[in-house]
Amino acid sequence: MNCSSHHFDYLLRLGGSSLVLGQRMAEWIGHGPVLEEDIALANVGLDLMGQARMLLTHAGALEGRGRDEDALAMLRDVPGFRNYTLCELPNGEPVSQVGATRDYAFTLTRNFLFAAFQCELWKALGASRDAELAAIAAKSAKESRYHYGHAADWMLRLGDGTDDSHRRMQAALDLLWPYTHELFAADAGEAELEAAGIAPRSETLRAGWLQAVEPVLAEATLARPADTGFLSTGRFGRHSEHLGHLLSELQYLQRAYPGAQW
Amino acid sequence: MSDRQEWPLYEVFIRSKQGLDHKHVGSLHAPDAKLALQNARDVYTRRGEGVSIWVVPSSAITASDPEDKASNFDPADDKIYRHPTFYTLPKEVDHM
């Protein structure tokens, strides 16, 4: 299969998003509110890392310049990453009290919004003419459905829980919602990918995503934020200030000891 | 967090791929039964242990008193004739 740069960028976008959010999940290990949730987030993170490995391996093979998953994950800097900005936001600082780096409401709400998106994405990519991508989508769909269920259960309980939990969930949702615009925004390459039968236009995923998101928000007594013109640009390699910090930790070992192996 | 109310305890039973019956594998805390299932999936089936999960509130289990162990179980010790080892099985039955 010939690989256009759009095709490569698209795989980097999906692989990078799974990788970066997987790393955010890893940051919870040992800090979960209860043991069971600590393990749950580790499981979600491992699923995402697994998706990243497959997608980046596939991207490297298509590119044909001998870069493997590690080269793409560990040896590129911020502008080389194409992940959605939503995935790189810290686990809570923006909505928490000063000094708190982890907020469960924020973490779960992001997982909920992104897992709902991935469910739609994998459904559509299951029919991709890129056979490898279709196979990755089929495997990942089961994982994302679980992530969605886990997060949705907590949306209901915390959104429709105590006054404090409701306030925190609503604050997280208000902060995160504008970043979901990027998931469905058009870009220059998508017409080509759609014509080639490789990937759907992003906008076509939005209706299914809203169907998965809105009823849960309503049942959780959370107000669905209004859409604004805000559009983040992580998929073009223009990131928030947070990704560099995340990569410095993720890539530390390969930066400090190039070529180090387990 | 001492001011937090503890979540209730659930007992977890898993049916493995090979086994027909659910076996007790441990317990966990969860706010309700649905999340107990979710948690059990995450804590107890990470290595492909199971194909089905039951969770039961620990408070719903009535247990025998360890103090009564002798009176409950020792009387069976000298009644070996209750074991089916004295029957000769027809050859066709093979393993039973």
Q: What is the CATH number of the domain that holds B77?
A: 3.10.20.520
Of A136-150, B11-25, B75-89, the range with the lowest mean pLDDT is: B75-89
In this structure, is the dihedral angle defined by the CA atoms of residues A18, A156, A171 and B42, taken in order, positive or negative?
negative
Q: Which residues contact A74 (CB under 8 A, 6 or more apart)?
A: A250, A251, A254, A255
Q: Are strands B9-15 and B23-29 parallel, antiparallel or unpaired?
A: antiparallel
Q: Nearest chain B Cα to A33, which residue?
A: B1
Residue of B nearest to A154 (CA): B35
Q: Which of B30, B38, B46 sits opposite A150 (nearest CB)?
A: B38
Nearest in space to A131 (alpha carbons), one of A62, A46, A53, A203:
A62
Is residue B67 assigned to a domain? yes
C-beta atoms of A37 and B39 within 8 A: yes
Is 90 exceeded by the pLDDT of residue A217? yes
CA distance A27 to A247: 12
Does B1 map to a domain? no
Predicted local distance difference test score (pLDDT) of residue A64:
93
Q: Other CB atoms closer than 10 Å to residue B58's CB: what's the count?
A: 14
Q: Report the half-sphere exposure of A114 (CA within 13 A, side-chain side).
A: 28
Please report the pLDDT score of residue A17 as a whole number.
98
Contact call for A36 and B34, based on CB within 8 A = no
- As a CATH number, domain A5-256 is 1.20.1260.10
Q: What is the reported pLDDT for A1?
A: 46
Q: What is the ipTM of this complex?
A: 0.70
pLDDT at position B2 is 46
Asked whether residue B88 is assigned to any structural domain, the reply reads yes
Q: In what order do the strands lie in the sheet with B52-57?
A: B23-29, B9-15, B52-57
* Tally of domains within chain B: 1
Find residue A102's DSSP bridge partners: A92
Contacts of A153 in chain B (CB under 8 A): 34-35, 38
The pLDDT of residue A96 is above 90: no
Range(s) of the domain holding residue B69: 9-93
Is the CB of B35 inside 8 Å of chain A's CB atoms? yes
Chain A hits for B9, CB-CB cut-off 8 Å, are none
Do the chains contact at B28 and A37, CB–CB below 8 Å?
no
Taking residues B91-95, what's their average pLDDT? Answer: 78
Contacts of B46 in chain A (CB under 8 A): 39, 43
